[in-house]
Amino acid sequence: MMIIAVVGSGGKTTRIHKLSRYYRSLGKKVFVTTTTHMKKEPDTVIPTCAKDLLNPLSETGYCMAGMLTTTKDAPVQKIGPLPKNLYEHVVKEADIMLIEADGSRGMPAKIPAQYEPVIPENVDEIHIVIGMSALGKSAREVVHRLSLADKDLEIKEDTIITPFHLQKLLK
């Protein structure tokens, strides 16, 4: 069993789907979930019991699941974390667990709050992503939680984002 948390902004879900395809091509059973919020996709399982997760995992080698949640960006339905007992059932059955462990409200860059990212203790790898689509745009357009920027970041609302700024955000 390998558990990978994907954190940062601008590409977490895409990274998770690429990893999922790769590991499934190797014949691995892949489970996808979140510790924060993630867009509910058509094949997302909203479980009522462990079998709801384990059946697709054993039948197709893939399951994406979480609990329905309400968020401020209402038209998009989101999922939140699984209850601990269901998470623990899946950990025992999946070969690879991919966890979206951070949120950025769809923005390509972010300044994390003190409580972020939300990484489970049993994680083996952490993949950090940031959206290159932020380059050349004003910080107000592309940086989530811009209000948390301090003077060390050298980013204000009208700052045009460069590779230098993205490096600082990643650090």
d(CA 131, CA 169): 11
pLDDT band at 141 (very low <50, low <70, confident <90, very high): very high
DSSP state of 85: H
Rounded to an integer, the average pLDDT of 70-87 is 82
- Give the pLDDT confidence score for residue 75 in this predicted structure: 65
pLDDT band at 73 (very low <50, low <70, confident <90, very high): low
Q: Are 23 and 144 in contact (CB under 8 A)?
A: no
pLDDT band at 162 (very low <50, low <70, confident <90, very high): very high
Model pLDDT for residues 107-123, shown as the tens digit of each residue? 999 999 999 999 999 99
Rounded to an integer, the average pLDDT of 59-64 is 97
Whether the per-residue pLDDT at 26 is higher than 90: the answer is yes
Nearest one of 58, 53, 107, 59 to 79, comparing CA atoms? 53
